[in-house]
Structure 1
Amino acid sequence: MTDVPEVLFVCVHNAGRSQMAAALLAHHARGAVRVTSAGSAPAEEINPAVRAVMDELGIDLSMQFPKRLTTDAVEAADVVVTMGCGDACPVFPGKRYLDWELTDPAGRSVEDIRPIRDDIDARVRGLLAELVPAGDR
């Protein structure tokens, strides 16, 4: 792993789960981790209800947009966290892969997405604790 670990979050559309995870990790890590996200079939825009639940936490996704998963992004990452992207994510030796089974927020209300966001937040905090000791962030 590099001096500053890099985490890539991947889901199908890069419009919900992976965007929330990336934003939450970046928020909690405060620069101690490089964070990216991508999708195997990116949507046109981030789910508006996802933006709303992140706004509730003071995390602004207005400048973010869905990005296509590339081999370069996977190669650059130390940890690749998949969230329902199936076999679309390339696998490279030496990378740490995690598969988080999470409900897809697509088509769900803000009320339905809050528990998904909170689940992601707990997982992200756990991952951050593994990657960077609390005193180093």
Structure 2
Amino acid sequence: MTDISAHLQHEITLDQQLALHTAATRLADEFDGIYSAETIERFLHTSYDQFATAASIPNYLPLLAERFARQRLRALARVEGHHRDGRPVVLFLCTHNAGRSQMALGFFTHLSGEHAIAWSGGSEPGIEINPAAIAAMAERGIDISEEFPKPWTDEVVCAADVVVTMGCGDACPVFPGTRYENWNVEDPAGLDLVGVRPIRDELERRVRRLLDELNVTTTW
């Protein structure tokens, strides 16, 4: 078993190291024949370091790292042609990945079901999802409480067919050959549930329109 702690930029407990080894094993099984153990561990290590400085719950770090590494590896597999299933991929970006982009992701995933893929990210990821955004989406029967703010990475952007930006300005990535849309939607940061509801409803309208443009069958 390799010494994962030696490859990380931040201190790590024994329990966290064991959890990361378990995560690496799961990812190796999932991407067997596509990526080597070394590549998987590199993605896992860099994903862990992305969250280590800001996360408020250290014991949750290995799970966050595994989830983010899995998303990045799936994106890379699409970019490199290892996995193309014909489903459109949409990436929602905002500044903190804590409100607008997470609500848009929630609507897109719920409405599209298995017919499309959506990811989200932020130019300056926050620490947690906006509680008012979680509550507003719960009113629509959509649970985004298990989501987490995360940065965007090159492979995720390159794998997207459409990149939707909301407020991240020049910090948002631009790659040739990708369709970009900028949605001028108010930032829900600092607003209560009443203030977030109109933003939620506007995002739903825009997501439904995008799904229609992509010819994706919606579930409701």
TM-score in terms of structure 2 length: 0.60
Provide the rounded CA distance (Å) in 1 between the counterparts of 2:136 and 2:121: 20
For 1:65, the aligned partner's letter is F
> In structure 2, the residue corresponding to 1:103 is in which secondary structure?
coil
Identity of aligned residues (%): 54
Check the 8 A contact 2:91/2:160 in 1, yes or no. Answer: yes
Deviation of 1:133 after TM superposition, in Å, equals 4.5
Alignment deviations for residues 27-47 of structure 1 (CA, whole Å, 9 cap, x no partner)? 110111100000000000000
Provide the rounded CA distance (Å) in 2 between the counterparts of 1:63 and 1:50: 12
**Which one of 137, 160, 181 corresponds to residue 77 of structure 1?**
160
Check the 8 A contact 2:96/2:126 in 1, yes or no. Answer: yes
**Which one of 23, 33, 36 corresponds to residue 119 of structure 2?**
36
Deviation of 1:132 after TM superposition, in Å, equals 2.1
Aligned pairs (5 A) from 1:17-56: 17-56=100-139
> In structure 2, the residue corresponding to 1:97 is in which secondary structure?
strand
Partner of 2:191: 108
Aligned length: 137
> In structure 2, the residue corresponding to 1:98 is in which secondary structure?
strand
**Which one of 141, 149, 152 corresponds to residue 66 of structure 1?**
149
Provide the rounded CA distance (Å) in 1 between the counterparts of 2:218 and 2:139: 27
Structure 1 unaligned regions, length at least 5: none
CA RMSD of aligned residues (A): 1.8
Check the 8 A contact 1:2/1:78 in 2, yes or no. Answer: no
Alignment deviations for residues 70-99 of structure 1 (CA, whole Å, 9 cap, x no partner)? 111110100000000011122111100000
Deviation of 1:2 after TM superposition, in Å, equals 6.8
Distance 1:135 1:112, change over 3 A: closer
Q: Which has the higher helix share?
A: 2
Check the 8 A contact 1:14/1:66 in 2, yes or no. Answer: yes
Check the 8 A contact 1:32/1:132 in 2, yes or no. Answer: no
Check the 8 A contact 1:81/1:99 in 2, yes or no. Answer: yes
> In structure 1, the residue corresponding to 2:213 is in which secondary structure?
helix
User: Over alpha carbons, which structure has the higher Rg?
Assistant: 2
Structure 2 unaligned regions, length at least 5: 1-83
Runs of 4+ in 1 over 6 A off after TM superposition: none
Deviation of 1:130 after TM superposition, in Å, equals 0.8
